[in-house]
Amino acid sequence: MVKKYLILDDGTSFVGEAFGDLSTATGELAINSNLNNYQESLTDPLYHNQIITFTQPSIGNIGINPKSYESILTSAKGIVVHQEENISFSHLKNLSLNSFLKERHIPGICQIDTRALQKYVHTHNVKKASIVNNNDAHAFDQLQASVLSNQQIQSVATPKPYLVPGSGITIVVIDLGLRESIVRQLSKLNCNLIVVPWNTSFSEIKNLDPEGVVISSGPGSPEEIENSVIDNILEIQKELPLFGIGLGHELIAIVNGAKIKRLKIGHYGDNHPVKKIITNEIVYPHQAQDYAIVTDSVDTSKLIITYVDLINGTVQGLRSRDYPTFSVQFLPESALGIENNLDLFDEFIESVVAHRRVKYEL
């Protein structure tokens, strides 16, 4: 077994064994407490440039399958697990996690007590980490000197628009680092999708004549995004039904005057109960956030808070009082075992249909 080290930017190091690619990597450390969905996380552009730690102790046991990609190109920088599994009876499996990582040149480290690591990270201010072959002073110097990119969206979003044909309503999806699940859900509802790059202008979108717009989730900070994107959303909101997810939700909040803060500890998991205020229902959606809306900054004359995280109190959903615009912080296309409780895409399409009626009849 080849030894490998996970070193943290506060000088701590954890020793483990190498798997996957044998290279080294540096990135932001994300702690993911999902019980499943490791393939989805590894391929989700949301984790761009991050080293993902899975606290679920056994990872790899259903291999890699063609139906679970969130994007074809992988975004994560590295993976930290407790036990790497290579035994599978999944009928979907055609590739093991280990060979997948090797092929994608993603280094992994296993035999790490990831729950202890999580506890450590939650009590210390750790942001950056490296997976390295030696935990010497040089490695720590390099980790300290590394600068994390603030051009996240640009590196993962599609550079060109493309069509995902369907027989139903035409929807424009603004790609800020699109997860394929969003496309899957909208395709299930027969939407005719046009996916456009993150910086597409409002007039270009309008000329495509969509009946609604979805702003995708994506990596990075909502505060680093160009002002033109914010101005675009302001225009879209006035004219078309709009649905924002993750980063898209944060941007809609900014457009409507709310402030964003960075969470002390990013939250990646599906273990938080989230309350749907209008019906008092509780859901456990898949959450992945480093940023959150400052609750006090939400202007209640413009926005209604629709979902709230019951563990940390963060705003998880918003709706405009004046326009058919709504958004959620969590990822509405996947929830643990209770898929049916999250019908936000149906809600969006129905609000598009209602808006069409208002537009043509009044």
Partner 1 sequence: MNNEKVVLDNMSMQRALTRITYEIIEKNKGVNNLVLIGIKTRGVYLAKRIANRLKKLENTDVPVIELDITNYRDDKKEKNNSQKVATNVVDINEKNIVLVDDVLFTGRTVRAALGAINEIGRPKRINLAVLVDRGHHELPIRADFVGKNIPSSKDETIKVLVSEIDDRDGVEITKK
Q: Applying CB under 8 A, which part among 5-13, 54-62, 226-234, 354-362 lies near partner 1?
A: 354-362
Closest CA relative to residue 82, chosen from 53, 51, 61, 45 = 53
> Binding partner 1 by CB under 8 A: which of 56, 98, 289, 351?
351
Interatomic CA distance for residues 64 and 49, integer angstroms: 20
Q: Toward partner 1, which CB reaches closer, 223 or 350?
A: 350
Q: Toward partner 1, which CB reaches closer, 89 or 360?
A: 360
Q: Tally the C-alpha atoms within 13 A of residue 235's C-alpha that lie toward its C-beta.
A: 13
Give CA separation, 329 vs 123, 243, 268, in Å.
25, 11, 12
Asked if 150 and 221 count as a contact pair (C-beta separation under 8 A), the reply is: yes
For residue 52, what are its two tokens?
Answer: 């993902």
Interatomic CA distance for residues 310 and 116, integer angstroms: 24
Q: Toward partner 1, which CB reaches closer, 123 or 340?
A: 340
Name the minimum Å distance from CB 330 to partner 1: 17
Q: Toward partner 1, which CB reaches closer, 15 or 278?
A: 278
Name the minimum Å distance from CB 349 to partner 1: 11
Q: Applying CB under 8 A, which part among 37-45, 159-167, 185-193, 277-285 lies near partner 1?
A: 277-285
Interatomic CA distance for residues 326 and 306, integer angstroms: 9
For residue 54, what are its two tokens?
Answer: 């899975």
**Binding flags for partner 1, 308-347, as an x/- string (CB under 8 A):** -----------xxxxxx-x-------------x--x--xx
Q: Is residue 278 within the footprint of partner 1 (CB under 8 A)?
A: yes
Q: Toward partner 1, which CB reaches closer, 223 or 322?
A: 322
**Binding flags for partner 1, 237-276, as an x/- string (CB under 8 A):** ----------------------------------------
Report which secondary-structure segment, H or E, holds 30. strand 25-32
Name the minimum Å distance from CB 229 to partner 1: 25
Asked if 76 and 42 count as a contact pair (C-beta separation under 8 A), the reply is: yes
Name the minimum Å distance from CB 304 to partner 1: 6
Side chain identity at residue 249, one-letter code: H
Q: Toward partner 1, which CB reaches closer, 296 or 361?
A: 361
Q: Is residue 304 within the footprint of partner 1 (CB under 8 A)?
A: yes
Q: Which residues, numbered 27-86, are part of the site for partner 1 (CB under 8 A)?
A: none
Neighbours of 141 (CB within 10 A): 10
Name the minimum Å distance from CB 313 to partner 1: 17
For residue 42, what are its two tokens?
Answer: 């590894």
> Binding partner 1 by CB under 8 A: which of 123, 167, 207, 279?
279
For residue 337, what are its two tokens?
Answer: 């075992």
Q: Toward partner 1, which CB reaches closer, 231 or 281?
A: 281
Interatomic CA distance for residues 29 and 317, integer angstroms: 26
Give the ranges where the chain is alpha helix by DSSP (H).
Answer: 38-43, 97-103, 114-123, 137-145, 152-156, 180-188, 202-207, 227-239, 247-255, 344-361
* Residue 274 burial (C-beta neighbours within 10 Å; 0-12, 13-18, 19+): buried
Asked if 243 and 224 count as a contact pair (C-beta separation under 8 A), the reply is: no
Name the minimum Å distance from CB 50 to partner 1: 35
Q: Toward partner 1, which CB reaches closer, 103 or 281?
A: 281
DSSP state of 187: H
Q: Toward partner 1, which CB reaches closer, 265 or 304?
A: 304
> Binding partner 1 by CB under 8 A: which of 67, 91, 264, 357?
357
Contact set with partner 1 (CB under 8 A): 277-280, 304, 306, 319-324, 326, 340, 343, 346-347, 350-351, 353-354, 357, 361
